[in-house]
């Protein structure tokens, strides 16, 4: 036994001298503009409490992979939106985006100055410039409205002897989107609750507890509800290969009150409408959200396949996205 150990140790001696320290130069990095903006057929969001605040324009500058300081936005960019004829239809002014927990309370966010509303079927170009970096631009065609078919909502029964909870509830939501077999289309679906005046009342969440109980044919043609403002829960769907089959959502949901607190009336009125929003997306917007999913799915694993984020910004990074919203309200 000792003799065998001696020979193994002797054989390992040459390997001990094979360790080599290599100095690897990081790749050269040229700072470039990074932008994120989503144009839609709705009035632009006006602030961080807007339901679609994540569509606001944000501008920053790229970092080297060796940079350890936090990424910050910049307020010195000039950004214009032009239509197919080259006419400027929207300009942007910098605005602070503060609030508790904000990572950027000063610079980076911009508000639309003219309140331009995108037109489905029209081509647009977004151009951004700033000192000491190259001008960048991106283009898209805003897609057509989705055709939303039958929809329904069935509230869960209230247990005997109890009253409806004024702050939250649950039920079963169903809707469908009719597919155009001649084209490849991309969608996102959201839902929210509104009060009697059509103002935001609260958020809707998909219940995943019965997710694996459906057949494979249903899974392939169904929606998942996205949650606005959460990149990981932005869940696009493509109709590629559906051959005209309707895309469906049929799932239990829960909801909760998200409006302001009124000390004079601490119990909010019950919601009046459940609003379904189906957003038609350009291909680049779909590809970007898909790449975000792949990025998060790597979960920091150093052995995972590379998951670079898709970009449609020439000369820079980011997304000029589009969303054509179809809205449908169900009275509760």
CATH number of 147-280: 2.60.40
| Terminal-to-terminal C-alpha distance of the chain | 82
Residues constituting the chain: 332
Burial label for 1, CB within 10 Å (0-12, 13-18, 19+), is exposed
The two domains 33-142 and 147-280 share their CATH topology (first three levels equal): yes
Burial label for 280, CB within 10 Å (0-12, 13-18, 19+), is buried
Closest CA to 56 of 43, 65, 44, 74: 44
Q: Name the range with the highest mean pLDDT among 68-82, 137-151, 153-167, 229-243.
A: 137-151
178-206: pLDDT as tens digits: 988 889 999 999 999 999 999 999 999 99
Tell me the domain boundaries of the chain: 33-142, 147-280
In the structure encoding, which two tokens stand for residue 30, read together?
């040229």
- The predicted pLDDT at position 100 comes to 43
pLDDT at 124 over 90: yes
* Cα separations in angstroms, 330 against 154, 194, 275: 10, 10, 6
The mean per-residue pLDDT over the stretch 243-250 comes to 87
Helices (H), the chain: 2-16, 216-220, 283-297
Percent of the chain with pLDDT over 70: 86
9-56: pLDDT as tens digits: 545 555 555 667 777 777 788 999 999 999 999 998 876 567 888 899
* Cα separations in angstroms, 100 against 48, 97, 103, 105: 11, 10, 9, 9
259-310: pLDDT as tens digits: 887 787 778 888 999 999 999 999 999 999 999 999 888 887 878 888 889 9
- The predicted pLDDT at position 217 comes to 47
d(CA 279, CA 290): 15
Q: Name the range with the highest mean pLDDT among 111-125, 150-164, 238-252.
A: 111-125
In the structure encoding, which two tokens stand for residue 186, read together?
């991309």
For 30, other C-beta atoms within 10 Å of its C-beta total: 8
d(CA 124, CA 119): 10
pLDDT at 96 over 70: no
Closest CA to 132 of 35, 6, 211, 30: 30
Phi/psi of residue 101, each to 5°? 80, 5
Give domain 33-142's CATH architecture. Answer: Sandwich (2.60)
For 108-144, letters b (16+ CB in 10 Å) and e give bbbbbeeebebeeeeebebbbebeebeebbbbbebbe
């Amino acid at each position: 036994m000792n003799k065998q150990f001696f020979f193994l140790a002797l054989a390992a001696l040459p390997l001990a001298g094979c360790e080599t320290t290599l100095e690897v130069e990081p790749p050269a990095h040229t700072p470039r503009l990074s932008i994120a903006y989503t144009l839609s057929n709705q009035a632009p969001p006006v602030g961080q409490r807007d339901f679609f605040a994540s569509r606001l324009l944000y501008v920053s500058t790229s970092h080297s992979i060796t940079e350890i300081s936090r990424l910050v936005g910049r307020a010195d960019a000039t950004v214009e939106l032009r239509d197919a004829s080259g006419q400027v239809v929207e300009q942007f002014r910098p605005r602070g985006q503060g609030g508790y927990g904000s990572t950027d309370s000063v610079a980076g966010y911009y508000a639309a100055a003219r309140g331009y509303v995108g037109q489905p079927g029209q081509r647009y170009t977004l151009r951004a410039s700033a000192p000491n970096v190259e001008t960048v631009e991106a283009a898209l065609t805003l897609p057509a409205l989705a055709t939303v078919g039958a929809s329904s909502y069935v509230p869960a029964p209230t247990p005997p002897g109890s009253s409806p909870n004024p702050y939250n509830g649950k039920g079963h939501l169903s809707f469908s989107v009719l597919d155009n077999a001649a084209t490849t289309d991309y969608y996102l679906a959201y839902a929210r609750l509104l009060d009697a005046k059509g103002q935001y009342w609260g958020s809707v969440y998909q219940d995943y507890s019965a997710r694996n109980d459906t057949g494979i044919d249903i899974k392939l043609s169904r929606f998942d509800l996205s949650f606005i403002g959460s990149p990981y829960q932005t869940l696009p769907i493509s109709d590629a290969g559906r051959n005209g089959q309707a895309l469906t959502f049929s799932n239990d949901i829960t909801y909760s009150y998200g409006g302001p607190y009124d000390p004079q009336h601490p119990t909010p009125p019950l919601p009046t409408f459940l609003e379904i929003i189906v957003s038609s997306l350009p291909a680049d917007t779909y590809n970007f959200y898909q790449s975000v999913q792949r990025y998060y799915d790597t979960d920091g694993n150093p052995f995972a396949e590379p998951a670079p984020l898709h970009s449609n910004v020439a000369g820079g990074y980011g997304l000029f996205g589009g969303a054509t919203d179809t809205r449908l309200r169900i009275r509760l």
